[in-house]
Each structure stands twice: as C-alpha cells, then as structure tokens.
Amino acid sequence: MELSGLLRALRLEGPRDGAQPPPAVPPAEQVLLQIGLLCSEGPGGAHRASVVRDLGALVEAADCQWLLAGVSPATLGELVAALSGYAAPPKQEQEAADLPSKDSAYTAAAERAADVGAVFVHLLVKLEAAKTQEALGVPTVGPILRRVVGPIYIFAATHVVERPWTNVRSRSAAQKLLVLLVQATGCESVAEFLRGKNEDEEGRFAAVMGLLKQELTKDTWKCNPATKFVFSWTLPHVTRPWLSRYLECVLPPSLLISDDYREENKILGVRCLHHIILNVPGADLCQFNRAQVVYHALYNHLYSREAPLIQAVLLCLLDLLPILERAQRQQKQARPTALYDEVLQLVLTHMEAEHRLALRRVYARALPAFVRRLGILIARHLKRLERVILGYLEVCDGPEEEARLGILETLQCTIEHAWPRMPCRLPVLLKALLKMIWDVHTDQSSTPEPVKAALLQGATECLILLDRCSEGQVKVLLAGVYSSCEENRVRECIRKVQENT
C-alpha cells in the first residue's frame, strides 16, 4: 500500500539527511485529527484528493483495533463532517453564476464525492466487522455510529440520484452507503432507518433534520444547492404516524421553499407540503392555524401561469380543503364550504380566459374533483361553469384530448349533482354535445381511435343523463336528428340515447 502522499501531507516523515531518526507513526486519533483538519481547509487540488484516496486505502487496510479502539467518537464525527464538507457541491452565492464555470465546479465536486464516498464505505464496513470482535463490540461501535450516521446519510442523500454535482462513481458510492447504513443500524429500509421500527421508537430523522436545520433558513437554504433536494428526498420516507412529531421542523422549510420565485422550487415546496398534508393528522395541521397558513400559500400560487405548478397546487388543495372544512364544521361556522367556493371561483375565472393548452388540460383534469366535493352546492357556480364547459367542448386539444375528456367528466358530475337545474340549460348543452360529436366524427387529425371512442362515449353518457333529468326531452329532440343523419357513427351515439331507459 502506497501512503507516501498521506504521510507527507501529515508531515509524519522525518528529515532525510540522517541527522535524526524518523519519528514513530502517531496513533489513529492523531492521524485522523490531522486529516480532518487538512480536509476542512477547503476542496483543495490534486494533492488533497490524493490524501483522501490514501485515507481510503488506510481505512480499508487498517486493523479494527488500531482504527477504532483508540479513537473517540467525537474525532470520527469531526473527520466525517470535514470529509462531507470537502465533498460538498460548490456554494451558490449568486444563482446567476456563469454556466461553464459552474459545470466544471460540479464535475470536480462529483470526483471529490466519489473519493469521500469510498472512505465512508470502508469505515462502515470496519464498524460492522468490529461489532463481532470481543475487544470492541457494540459498546465501542454504538457511540461511533450515533456520531457518524447523520452526516454520512446526508452525504449519501446528496449524491444518490442524478444531479449536476454527481457522476456514476459518486452515485454508486452513495447507494452502497445507504445499504450499509441500513444494515449497520439493524433496519430493513431507508424509511425504517429514518423513522424507527415502530411508532414508539425514534429513528434518525430528528438527527438528520438537526444537521439540515442550519442550512434550511431563509438566508442559507440557497447557498448549498443540494440542501433542498436532500430535504425533499428524505421527507417522503417519513410517513404517518411518525411525521406528526416532526411537524414543527418540516413545515417551515417546506413553506420557505414553496415561496421562492423560481418555479422548480415552488413545485418542490408544494410537493413537500402535499406529503405533510397526507401524513399528518388534520387536528395537528389545524392547530395554531397551520392549515390556514398552508392554504393561503397554495392559494397565491393559483395565479401562476405555469402548468406543472398549477397541477401540483390543485392536487394539494384537494387534500387540504377537506381538513379545513371539517375544522370549520367543528367550529360551527355557517358556510364550511366557503374555501371550496373561493378556489373554484378563481379556477373557473382562469379557465374561462385560458388559451394555453397545457393549462387547459391541468384545469380540466382537476375540475371533476371539485364538482364532486361540492355536490349540490355546485349550483352556486353553474353560470360560469356552463360557459367553461361550452368553451372547452369546442376546442380540440391534441392527440390525447385530455381537456375535452376532463370537461365531459365534469359535465357528467354536474348533471348528477345539480340535475334540477339542468332542464333549463338543455338547448345549449345539447347543441354543444352534438357539435362535439360531429367534430370528433369528422376529425382527420392524428387523434387515435381509442381517444375518439372515449370522447363519443363521454358525450353519449352526458346526453343520457340530460335525458333522464329532463324526463325524456332529449329523446324527443334527437328523433329528427336520427332520421336525417346518414353518418353511422353519429347515429350510433343517438341510438344509444334513444334506447336507454
């Protein structure tokens, strides 16, 4: 094993003139302290990278007794922290840094992370082997593990998925580290490692968040580009019922990230909020008006013009509004559905004037859920909803026809829940549905046949529902159309309506 670079870096070699004999090799404690000090000075260059690689060889070849018995857990913890800092992605003081220099810095960070990851892998292997040695065992290994698992987990989460600051080697090392961490702590999965084996046991999530907390403040969360991804990758592993005990430490950073001006950060934060809503009891969310704070943060995003963000926000709101509605009902408020009305009114206002197909699809997919949640109370919005339905039925939105299929489902739900209000709207809706059936039949674009069949089926079901709530008026009005129409596909739709009882 060639360790001359490491020895020179630690200044352990004596003079070469023979005047004095070389000093004895210092104990592991002194070696590791000096290496940690060396790495904490910054990323460095090829010299420091060589030292880290030599350190990996040293840890791999060292005897467990020499490496662990004479070293305090604090020393190993400081070494792991120093190596993690050495391998961290470059700080982002300004987001508008020029891309070529940023790319080269990320490439160098990935190489450093691959070397550090190898050191951590060797260290965890040694710790696992030391558990079975009589002279060491769990009493020695346990305190060391408690010191190092948090920083090593954050390092692994930083590099486990493809990011600008990772490469194949660093991702491979991170995946091995996660496997070894789970094994070393006697768990079966990363989720169990973080949350504990049962509800009464506390996992390592609190320790991880304790380390992340200082980087998840308003002034610091953008400095390290990996911090938000480590948080958002870790959070989904902690589910109900464990997450409620950590609500105070996960809700503020989620709101902070979602409040950013960049769309990708907004979406990331909204997804974190959605996970919290799904995995924390409603009573805990409503305490101290937390749910109201989240609602207002999400509601403000509805003014965005970006389809991915609107989709994430609408899905989140659909799970948050029932919690707020139950809280309002318990407080005996007069109109517990007022928030549904508020959201739907804004959504319909945007839908009516929207011309971008991506946004029209997002709105149309979410609309049926709002109609179902409001039930008969959708009658409050029928005038504007009718205009939206008529406008969306007219416009083809591409091969998959997601917007028109969503609007047809919305119309079905509306007829089912507000059927007493439908007969007066029958002439307008019947005309729009027949026009859409004809447009689909004569469509010569690339729309697949299954999509056309789904559109025709949806329109037919709407006609059947309209006929039922109008006591057979649709059959009477369609009789003349059926006798004069020569197109088999259109006649088939009308026949289904006429034969339905």
Q: What is the pLDDT of residues 310-342, one digit of tens each?
A: 999 999 999 999 999 888 888 776 566 688 999
CA 356 distance to own-chain centroid: 25
Amino acid at 268: L
Q: What is the pLDDT of residue 97?
A: 42
Handedness of CA 457, 463, 466, 468 (dihedral sign): negative
Distance, C-alpha 69 to centroid of its chain = 42
Compute the CA torsion angle 140, 238, 301, 305 (nearest 10 deg): 90
User: Is there a contact between 266 and 308 (Cβ–Cβ < 8 Å)?
Assistant: no
* Residue 37: closest CA among 24, 22, 55, 23: 55
- Amino acid, single-letter form, for residue 339: L
Residue showing tokens 């707020």: 324
Residue 456: CA count within 13 A, CB half-sphere:
23
CB 264 within 8 A of CB 224: no
Find where tokens 């026809």 sit: 401
For the chain, give the mean pLDDT: 86
* Residue 160 near residue 234, CB atoms below 8 Å: no
**Tokens 């904490």 appear where?**
40
> Alpha-carbon distance 137 to 127, whole Å?
9
Task: Give the C-alpha separation, 276 to 257, whole Å.
Answer: 14
Spatial CA neighbour of 126 closest among 68, 84, 73, 69: 68
How many other C-beta atoms are found inside a 10 Å radius of the C-beta of residue 182?
18
**Segments in the chain below pLDDT 50:** 1, 11-26, 94-100
- pLDDT at site 99: 44
**SS3 at position 159:** helix
Find the Cα–Cα–Cα–Cα dihedral 102, 103, 105, 111, rounded to 10°.
160
Q: Among positive and negative, which fits the CA dihedral 208, 209, 211, 216?
A: positive
Q: Which residues of 28-62 are buried (b: 16+ CB within 10 A; e: fewer)?
A: beebbbbbbebbeeebbeeebbbbbbbbbbbbeeb
